[in-house]
Chain A
């Protein structure tokens, strides 16, 4: 990887002009979503708190993480994102290192090794890895605009991607590895990759499905079968899907009210504060609550795309595209899972799922976007 403009970031300093160019819509929608997330954490852990003795335990923890995230966002926005490009090779090595650490010393929960305990806090490094991988891939494609039409470029990109996908898949976390692949496609698409090459990749993936199927773990296969027919084993693999549908459907137009849902406090809905948080939201706040969330997401995604659209260079544009792809993919998979349009995978819903790693990683990514926005060319007269 060569650095095309190595000198620029070193001379960059935040200037009042740049603060003015911060994207206010992106900032406001970020704050609104963090607030929504805290409300949902409160609502879905309402029953849990009666057991711990500290009623606000989860909310306080969520607020601390939000503060950390916002601080990270501000800090990242201060610096020119071009620095990230400069250190992309290092970030790549760091990403693979993080993912290897998870496999080596990660703690298991629910049969998967996804988090690492550090000083009593548990970190999901794959969340960080997603954001870092966006930067790495954005840098890679930004540097290869001339040869983007060559299959060799695509192949090289895949080679770059493959170790990360493999390491995440080994945790095992099929969902997150699919998000990595989606990010690749999103960035490649906006980088100008030939459509036929992308289609060919999808076709190859589809054709190799039987091989993938044979590599899947039993529980993953069961989840896929359950997705197709949850009632085949309503007490087993189909349980989550059925209970999630019941939670969502029973919310009705306006929901049962905050903390008034019954599916998650009584344990019918598993992991209701993270993986199935959307089901809890739809049960408590109903169709209206879900539509409000969707509206916020659409504003967020459009704002992210606008940042990309107005970026001063391809690197910034592709980071924006990558972040938008990541968010869209996670929203689609998580909500889709809750309403049985997607198989069950453990992907957090941005801002709403309770979890520090996800929140801080996304805040970091949005900080990068603000940095891109701040450093765009001022609008001409």
Chain B
């Protein structure tokens, strides 16, 4: 051991002190190496997360207009109340939940629960507390007393406004808050947890155009969570404007007539659809009763929703596409075309309807009168059931006429679009039912009977169609044999006014001769001029076909307190350019009235006929 000349110097203790210094700095350096070198990137991210927040900047939703530019859906300003959990001290959470709860008339438990859940999920992201846009007064109450509302944000928010709410609701649909499941699927595409999304109708199917592109704002903020400055900004791009093929004038004419019919207690529900047979554009689509989609836009209450769901007239269903009905006599067009196309009947095929009923294996089949001798045009014009029983299955009234049979009818019916959705650009379209013997065997495990053929021939029995299917089939006849994909979208324009590419609409040529199609058009014109749907003082060459269907309950009252008579009327029509059965019709229309209360007699006028005449005369009269 080294001896110092001065005995008081404890050398070993100095060495120990030196070792202590070495140990202290070694420990500190190792720890620093771990924090800064090994985990530096991790902490760098944390420090950036501390100060930089990227806030979404929602885009304004695009408008929806009719074919002339008349605005159907736009946005009006409102406010959203949200909470950023990191800005809210835990100790004040309960107090704030109660205050917000009473201000927004929400249970404070659920407010608290929302905040708590968000605190776990991402405390830096605002969570919307107000379920619906709140008016300016409530927004002001929050912003003016900010000290009472720690962590609360008030953001301007648009409320969707539907100009003619109930009139267009079945077509337009509505927007609503995104669900948890949708959000999981869509968050990669930039959707936010508190976003609105198109729920049904046009709003849903053209969400991609209407939504716009959300922007973002990257802000730096201090520990008190005050915004210091905006670091970067990506502006939102307003959604595209969607122009529909709808003509608001026709829509309103159609709606006024149908609504008047309901008000006059002629029927309880009604559907009207009009389209351009030349290209499949839907010009009007009315479904009554409907609902006011503004209820959904501003946030529907549980009671309101329960009332809509409890209504047995199903106001939430767009009956033009979403429900199926027997086609009735309108289906004779299909039976006739089948027989003509297969060659089992011609224009000259005559059936002597010498009785108003006949029986086959114990079942009696009726006609509405004893017509006498009828050729094709008159059989169609007077809507003789027996004439079409004969074309379909053969009867005693014309022993030399062979029925074309149910398989052929099904084949041509499907060619005309029955039995499957038309492909219109709306969600929840029904496909209807187009039966044939195989279908019956598969569905009911029973063989097809001649009775089934007769019922099918006049659109009863198993046949079920949507009003749009029926209209589309007649439109194909009216335009000379092209079955279009009906559609509501005319064009999409972006914020700069440029056209955005839209889907191509499909069409199919019918495997039918022009002569046969012309014969149907001529017969349909005769329906109006001499037949079943006589229109007095008619100023335009309307052609069409009536139909009457009986189904459903015919006793009791519906939700509106009206008698359910189970008796329903169709009139499907088109308007050739001149009275010459040319394939140039610019408009075709179907009207369906449900539960007609005053049409139990066979000779009473089908209310759809008169309405069609008034609507088309007014619409085309003003157009010319």
Q: Check if B35 sits within 8 Å of A339, measured CB to CB.
A: yes
Partner pick for A250 among B32, B46, B90, CB 8 A cutoff:
B46
Partner pick for B223 among A248, A268, A286, A314, CB 8 A cutoff:
A268
**A251/B50 contact (C-beta < 8 A), A298-B25, A339-B35 known:** no
A251 cross-chain contacts in B, Cβ below 8 A:
36, 40
A247 cross-chain contacts in B, Cβ below 8 A:
47
B16 cross-chain contacts in A, Cβ below 8 A:
189
**A331/B24 contact (C-beta < 8 A), A246-B46, A249-B42 known:** yes
A253 cross-chain contacts in B, Cβ below 8 A:
36-37, 40
Determine if A282 is an interface residue (Cβ-Cβ < 8 Å).
yes
Name the CB-closest residue of A to B44. A250
- Provide the bound-state CA to CA distance between A335 and B25, in Å: 10
B50 cross-chain contacts in A, Cβ below 8 A:
243, 246, 262-263, 266, 268
- Provide the bound-state CA to CA distance between A314 and B13, in Å: 14
Task: Give chain A's interface secondary structure class.
Answer: helix
Determine if A328 is an interface residue (Cβ-Cβ < 8 Å).
yes
Determine if B18 is an interface residue (Cβ-Cβ < 8 Å).
yes
Name the CB-closest residue of B to A251. B36
Determine if A321 is an interface residue (Cβ-Cβ < 8 Å).
yes
Indicate with 1 or 0, residue by residue over A267-306, a CB within 8 angstroms of chain B CB atoms. 1100000000000001100110011001001100110010
Q: Check if A249 sits within 8 Å of B36, measured CB to CB.
A: yes
Q: Check if A302 sits within 8 Å of B18, measured CB to CB.
A: yes
Partner pick for A301 among B21, B31, B47, CB 8 A cutoff:
B21
Partner pick for B32 among A282, A313, A324, CB 8 A cutoff:
A282
B86 cross-chain contacts in A, Cβ below 8 A:
235
- Provide the bound-state CA to CA distance between A245 and B39, in Å: 10
A339 cross-chain contacts in B, Cβ below 8 A:
28, 31-32, 35
Whole-angstrom distance between the Cβ of A235 and the nearest chain B Cβ? 7
Partner pick for B222 among A266, A294, A309, CB 8 A cutoff:
A266
A250 cross-chain contacts in B, Cβ below 8 A:
40, 43-44, 46-48
Determine if A156 is an interface residue (Cβ-Cβ < 8 Å).
no
B47 cross-chain contacts in A, Cβ below 8 A:
246-247, 249-250, 262-263, 268, 283
Q: Check if A328 sits within 8 Å of B20, measured CB to CB.
A: yes
Partner pick for A252 among B13, B25, B37, B46, CB 8 A cutoff:
B37
Partner pick for A287 among B17, B36, B51, B224, CB 8 A cutoff:
B36
A246 cross-chain contacts in B, Cβ below 8 A:
43, 46-47, 50
- Provide the bound-state CA to CA distance between A192 and B9, in Å: 9
Determine if A59 is an interface residue (Cβ-Cβ < 8 Å).
no
Whole-angstrom distance between the Cβ of A329 and the nearest chain B Cβ? 9
- Provide the bound-state CA to CA distance between A287 and B14, in Å: 29
- Provide the bound-state CA to CA distance between A291 and B25, in Å: 9
- Provide the bound-state CA to CA distance between A290 and B34, in Å: 13
Determine if A190 is an interface residue (Cβ-Cβ < 8 Å).
yes
Determine if A217 is an interface residue (Cβ-Cβ < 8 Å).
no
> A303-336: which have CB < 8 Å to B?
305, 308-309, 312-314, 317, 321, 324, 328, 331-332, 335-336
Partner pick for A192 among B13, B90, B220, CB 8 A cutoff:
B13
Determine if A200 is an interface residue (Cβ-Cβ < 8 Å).
no
**A294/B37 contact (C-beta < 8 A), A246-B43, A321-B17 known:** no
Name the CB-closest residue of B to A142. B8
Q: Check if A248 sits within 8 Å of B37, measured CB to CB.
A: no
Q: Check if B43 sits within 8 Å of A249, measured CB to CB.
A: yes
Indicate with 1 or 0, residue by residue over A232-270, a CB within 8 angstroms of chain B CB atoms. 000100000001011111111100000000110011100
Name the CB-closest residue of B to A332. B24
Q: Check if A298 sits within 8 Å of B32, measured CB to CB.
A: no
- Provide the bound-state CA to CA distance between A40 and B43, in Å: 21
Name the CB-closest residue of A to B223. A267
Determine if B29 is an interface residue (Cβ-Cβ < 8 Å).
yes
Whole-angstrom distance between the Cβ of B581 and the nearest chain A Cβ? 81
- Provide the bound-state CA to CA distance between A32 and B29, in Å: 20
> A210-248: which have CB < 8 Å to B?
235, 243, 245-248
Partner pick for A317 among B9, B41, B51, CB 8 A cutoff:
B9
Whole-angstrom distance between the Cβ of A4 and the nearest chain B Cβ? 13
A235 cross-chain contacts in B, Cβ below 8 A:
86, 89-90
A314 cross-chain contacts in B, Cβ below 8 A:
8
> A110-148: which have CB < 8 Å to B?
145
Whole-angstrom distance between the Cβ of A67 and the nearest chain B Cβ? 29
Count: A-B pairs, CB below 8 Å: 127
Q: Check if A335 sits within 8 Å of B21, measured CB to CB.
A: no
- Provide the bound-state CA to CA distance between A186 and B221, in Å: 46
On chain A, which size bracket covers the interface? 35 or more
Determine if A158 is an interface residue (Cβ-Cβ < 8 Å).
no
Q: Check if B221 sits within 8 Å of A266, measured CB to CB.
A: yes
Determine if B358 is an interface residue (Cβ-Cβ < 8 Å).
no
On chain B, which size bracket covers the interface? 35 or more
Whole-angstrom distance between the Cβ of B446 and the nearest chain A Cβ? 71
**A266/B223 contact (C-beta < 8 A), A252-B36, A282-B32 known:** yes
- Provide the bound-state CA to CA distance between A52 and B21, in Å: 40
Whole-angstrom distance between the Cβ of A290 and the nearest chain B Cβ? 5
- Provide the bound-state CA to CA distance between A177 and B577, in Å: 105
Determine if B228 is an interface residue (Cβ-Cβ < 8 Å).
yes
Determine if A7 is an interface residue (Cβ-Cβ < 8 Å).
no
Name the CB-closest residue of A to B49. A246
- Provide the bound-state CA to CA distance between A245 and B45, in Å: 12
Q: Check if A190 sits within 8 Å of B43, measured CB to CB.
A: no
- Provide the bound-state CA to CA distance between A263 and B29, in Å: 21
Indicate with 1 or 0, residue by residue over B372-405, a CB within 8 angstroms of chain A CB atoms. 0000000000000000000000000000000000
Determine if A203 is an interface residue (Cβ-Cβ < 8 Å).
no
Determine if A341 is an interface residue (Cβ-Cβ < 8 Å).
yes
- Provide the bound-state CA to CA distance between A324 and B40, in Å: 32
- Provide the bound-state CA to CA distance between A246 and B223, in Å: 13
- Provide the bound-state CA to CA distance between A298 and B29, in Å: 12
A243 cross-chain contacts in B, Cβ below 8 A:
50, 223
Determine if B449 is an interface residue (Cβ-Cβ < 8 Å).
no
Determine if B107 is an interface residue (Cβ-Cβ < 8 Å).
no
- Provide the bound-state CA to CA distance between A286 and B36, in Å: 7
Partner pick for A309 among B14, B25, B224, B228, CB 8 A cutoff:
B14
B537 cross-chain contacts in A, Cβ below 8 A:
none
B368 cross-chain contacts in A, Cβ below 8 A:
none
- Provide the bound-state CA to CA distance between A183 and B41, in Å: 39
- Provide the bound-state CA to CA distance between A249 and B41, in Å: 8
B220 cross-chain contacts in A, Cβ below 8 A:
262, 266
Q: Check if B28 sits within 8 Å of A335, measured CB to CB.
A: yes
Whole-angstrom distance between the Cβ of A283 and the nearest chain B Cβ? 8
A308 cross-chain contacts in B, Cβ below 8 A:
14
- Provide the bound-state CA to CA distance between A313 and B44, in Å: 52
Whole-angstrom distance between the Cβ of A372 and the nearest chain B Cβ? 13
Partner pick for A266 among B14, B29, B51, B90, CB 8 A cutoff:
B51
Whole-angstrom distance between the Cβ of A35 and the nearest chain B Cβ? 21
A189 cross-chain contacts in B, Cβ below 8 A:
13, 16-17
- Provide the bound-state CA to CA distance between A283 and B32, in Å: 11
Name the CB-closest residue of B to A261. B47
- Provide the bound-state CA to CA distance between A353 and B44, in Å: 24
Q: Check if B8 sits within 8 Å of A249, measured CB to CB.
A: no
Q: Check if B51 sits within 8 Å of A294, measured CB to CB.
A: no
Partner pick for A294 among B25, B35, B40, CB 8 A cutoff:
B25
Determine if B310 is an interface residue (Cβ-Cβ < 8 Å).
no
- Provide the bound-state CA to CA distance between A1 and B16, in Å: 29
- Provide the bound-state CA to CA distance between A332 and B8, in Å: 28
Q: Check if A287 sits within 8 Å of B223, measured CB to CB.
A: no
**A287/B28 contact (C-beta < 8 A), A248-B43, A268-B222 known:** no
Name the CB-closest residue of A to B40. A252
Q: For the A-B complex with A266-B222, A290-B36 known, give 4 more contacts whose Cβ atoms are closer than 8 Å.
A: A245-B43, A248-B43, A302-B18, A324-B21
Can you sample 26 A-B contacts with CB below 8 Å?
A186-B17, A190-B10, A192-B13, A243-B50, A243-B223, A246-B47, A249-B36, A249-B43, A253-B40, A262-B48, A262-B51, A266-B50, A266-B220, A267-B222, A267-B224, A268-B223, A287-B33, A287-B37, A290-B29, A297-B25, A302-B21, A305-B14, A317-B8, A321-B17, A336-B28, A339-B35
Q: Across the A-B interface, give the 9 residue pairs with the lowest CB-CB distance, nearest first.
A: A249-B43, A267-B223, A252-B40, A250-B47, A266-B222, A287-B36, A250-B44, A250-B43, A249-B35
